[in-house]
Every structure is written in structure tokens, then in C-alpha cells.
Amino acid sequence: MAKYSLSANHCLSSGYQSEVLRGWQSSNTNVTPDQLVYPVFVTDEDADAKQPIEGFPDQYRYGINTLITTLKPLCDKGLKSVLLFGVTKLPKDNEGSGASHSQTTVIQAIRAIRTHLPELVIICDVCLCAYTNHGHCGVLDEDGSINNESSIERLAEVASSYAKAGCDIVAPSDMMDGRIGAIKAALRRCNLMSKVAVMSYSAKFASCFYGPFRSAAKSAPGKGDRKGYQLPPGSRGLAVRANDRDVAEGADYLMVKPGMPYLDIVRDTKNKFPNHPLAVYQVSGEYTMLHQAAAVGAFDLRQVVMESLQCMRRAGADILITYFTPQILDWLKEDKK
């Protein structure tokens, strides 16, 4: 039997036989502290709280005091940005009034961070689900359906309240039609449009990977689901159109959520909007899945986390939102030794 003669231009392995060469073959997939955003849950139940979250390993709801003491050493290690989610004891209603209350936990957190960690970039999630008595992301009509116009007006009020408190970026995650335009208009009215950016959850899918988050934020819908306003998992076209819409309305940053199952959408988005910074959210279910699998020895946690983030970077992500941020900061510091 004749031996196969390998063509010289089909011999690829010679190009990645050392760490340096492998790095050259993996351009623009590096992970640095500047790219990381740490999502944190802030509660108003107790300023000194550090509440474990069932089903969400090593994640906590922090009171204002423990939030600062937790973030300070991370900033010393290179943390540049946080994404804030509020968990409140304020009364809940159809409009989510507590989201923009002057004493709501997110506004308290913004002020505390501005005082104690002024260089930290503050991103505020903008949604109503954690503040409504029905757990949906918008205002409901009497028949239980979403009232889109009332919802985007309310979301714009919430975004403005966070902007006035001193955040750098508002990040609407609700997926209501027209909310980017409504928020931009509200920021213009309070003379903050040129000072506070909008990061749109522009391609957010109706995913089962959000389970641990909803427990953390106490934001699960009381009835029904969110399939009527979050994107169907199998829809590529709607993701393209949603990104188009939010760019047209003035979004400064785009986002794909979840991350790993939707890397095709990440690449689609980056190809179409190369000049818009793109965030990918490695969501609570992805985090827990990797964490638990590593705990039983399926693989090494550090290796699998860094591989997953490198793949997100390869697909086009500029910004990595991940609950693994504290560990990653340690790993990156170890790599420099």
C-alpha cells in the first residue's frame, strides 16, 4: 500500500510547537483584567450581609458594607468594572417602583462605590423583574400581557435614577421594544446622554441557563415565562434584527447572553457591528455547570474557565461578564510570576 505523501502546505503542527507560537496563532484571544466585569448582587436587608445563594456556589448577596470590603481587594488585583443587581425588601408593585426609589439598594451601592472606590466603572442592570409583584421585566396590563409603552417609560425612569446617582453605564436587560431609544431620550433630558453610556442586552435569549440567577435576585416570574419578550433560542434572524434595532436607537455597547451556547450569535454580531464593543455574559447556569463539574473531577476549573473565555474572545467578545472574575484575577496574577 502506497504511503500518503503529506503536502508541505497541509502540515500545520509545526506552527504551534511552543507557547510563543501558540500565542501567535491565537491573536486577539487574550484575557486581561480590563476585559472583565464582575456581576454582584446587593441587598438592603443588612449592610453587613453576606448571604449564600442556594444552587449558586461561592456567590453571595452583599450588604453595602460587605460589598465595599469584598470589592476593595479585587480592585487591588486589577478589577476595573462591576455590574450591579439589586435585591430589595422594599414593597413590590406592578410598576417596580422600588427600582428607582431614592433608597433602593442599587443607588446606595453606586454612592458607596463612588465614595470608596472612585476609579471602578459601575454598570447598572436596568430591569423591573426584581421589583415587580409579578416578576416580569415590564409593566403588565390587567390581562397579564406586557404593556410595552408603559414599560419603556418606566425603564427610562429607572435608568435615569441610576445615571443621576453616578453610574457610568446603564444596561437594560428587559428586552422591551424601543427601550434603548427611550433611555437615550431620558438621559438627554437630564443632561447625561454624553456622560452615561448604554450597554444593551441586545441579543438576550429565553434560556434555561438563568436558573441560579433568578434565585439570587429573587426575580423569577410568578406566572408564565419570558418567552414573549426574550429571544427564542433557535432564532438567528431575530438576534440580527434586535442588534440592528438597538444600534439604530443609539446603543453604545452590545451584548449576547448567554455565552457558550450562542457563540455563533457573538460572531454574527461582531461581523455586522465591528465598531461597537461587544460584551458576552457567561451566565449563572454556565458558571454553575463548570463549577460543579470541576468539583467532581470532570476537568480542571482553571483550564476550562480560561478555555471558555478564550473561545468567547475568538468569537468576537471584547468584554467578558463572568462570576469567575475573582478567580481569574488570581490566575492572571499567578501567570505574571
Residue 204 annotated as catalytic? yes
Name the active-site residue from 92, 184, 257, 270: 257
- Could you write out the three-class secondary structure of the chain? CCCCCCCHHHCCHHHHCCHHHHHHCCCCCCCCHHHEEEEEEEECCCCCCEEECCCCCCCEEECHHHHHHHHHHHHHCCCCEEEEEEECCCCCECCCHHHHCCCCHHHHHHHHHHHHCCCCEEEEEECCCCCECCCCCCCECCCCCECHHHHHHHHHHHHHHHHHHCCCEEEECCCCCCHHHHHHHHHHHCCCCCCCEEECCCEEECCHHHHHHHHHHCCCCCCCCCCCCCECCCCCHHHHHHHHHHHHCCCCEEEEECCHHHHHHHHHHHHHCCCCCEEEEECHHHHHHHHHHHHCCCCCHHHHHHHHHHHHHHHCCCEEEECCHHHHHHHHHHHHC
Taking Cα atoms as reference points, which of 202, 179, 308 lies closest to residue 255?
202
Spatial distance between the Cα atoms of 309 and 32, rounded to a whole number of angstroms: 11
Taking the C-alpha atoms of residue 175 and residue 155, their distance in angstroms, rounded to an integer, is: 11
Annotated active-site residue in 50, 72, 92, 204: 204
Active site residues: 204, 257
